[in-house]
Amino acid sequence: MSTLPSYSRRLALGLALGGLGLTAAGCVKGESSGAAAGSSATASASGSAGGAGGTVRLDYALYNPLSLVVREQKILENAGLTVQWEQSLGSNKANEFLRNDNLDLASTAGSAVLQARTNGSPVKTVDVYSQPEWTALVVAKDSTVTDVAGLRGKRIAATTGTDPYFFLQQALAEAGLSATDVEITNLQHADGRAALERGDVDAWAGLDPNMAATELQSGSKLLYRNVDFCTYGLLNARESFIESSPELVQQVVDAYATARAWALANPAELATLYAAQAQLTPEVAARVLERTTLDVDSVPGEAQRSVLEGIVPLMASTGDIPSAEAATEALDGLLVAEFAEKATPA
């Protein structure tokens, strides 16, 4: 995109003025391992929480910068909650955690949670955490493919059940192709990046931060971009948890509001935190955040419904859901506005 949002311009200025002062890292941690930078994947809160305010099981993810802020700054723990943290390596993993009752709330792309709900997972969206351009179709630096139509007969890595996967499907359809015209290899995001760089696949439906890392560190090229094909970053909760513990859901959404306010006011500090948590170079962290709009209406509503309605026919045609009618019914009950409407930053 030719013009960066105001947040991204402030980020670039903050980086130029203050620098990040971080040691460069050569890989993206977390997408290929359940371990968090500097901690285990699941940890109970310590200190003053003591369980007195209740316990919530919550994810953090490299594709969700606000989750990293909530976790690193112990916003919920400082409010008296005990938090059991689990890292989501992709929307598909976050949906698995919710479906299997391993987490109470988890973050996904909109397309992924709609698919999950349509296929019987009892989840609802309670907050919008970002409007990212977090995916694109990526080819290796020496690739001769110049457009999506050129992918006919090619091998493409993608993680099924995630926004990159549905981005790929939309891009193929726009170019007059279908999934049967290419060979889609189901790989987790980091593995897709590795396969692209090794030459095992011809293209990859990428996801930041791995996408930014392969651009800057391996010279990979973004073959096709379209922010309108991205379906927002959504925070979702199990329906039973919403019913049994609405006050805890509200506290989590409040924590996200606090994290958002801090992130928008402190773009350079956010980049430092993000780079450290994800073990990224400063340049990769900056590239990811340039493509991530955090200054977005956090209330789930018409904007999300509109973009999701647009992909329902495609989801049905690829067999990822039982029918378009089932998806429309699922969408009717997916978006819950009340928690974000009442959110109060600390």
Provide the edge-to-edge strand list for the sheet that holds 233-238: 82-87, 55-60, 105-109, 233-238, 123-132, 292-293
Provide the edge-to-edge strand list for the sheet that holds 137-139: 183-186, 155-158, 203-205, 137-139, 221-224
Q: How far apart are CA 83 and CA 76, in angstroms?
A: 7
Q: What is the pLDDT of residue 318?
A: 84
Contact 43, 37 (CB under 8 A): no
Contact 61, 88 (CB under 8 A): yes
Q: What is the pLDDT of residue 198?
A: 98
CATH 3.40.605.10 is the classification of domain 54-131+232-342: no
| Residue entry with tokens 């889609």 | 184
Q: What is the pLDDT of residue 263?
A: 98
Q: What is the DSSP string of 50-79?
A: TTTT-EEEEEEBTTBHHHHHHHHTTHHHHT
Do 135-229 and 54-131+232-342 have the same topology in CATH? yes
Q: What is the pLDDT of residue 317?
A: 87
Q: What is the SS3 assignment for 127?
A: strand
Domains of the chain, residue spans: 54-131+232-342, 135-229
**CATH number belonging to domain 135-229:** 3.40.190.10
Q: How far apart are CA 280 and CA 37, in angstroms?
A: 11
Q: What is the pLDDT of residue 204?
A: 98
Contact 298, 340 (CB under 8 A): yes
Q: What is the SS3 assignment for 198?
A: helix
Averaged in consecutive runs of 10 residues, what is the pLDDT profile of the chain (346 residues)? 39 37 34 34 34 84 96 97 96 96 97 96 98 97 98 97 93 95 96 98 96 97 96 98 98 98 97 94 96 97 96 90 97 98 91
Q: What is the pLDDT of residue 26?
A: 34
Q: What is the pLDDT of residue 3?
A: 36
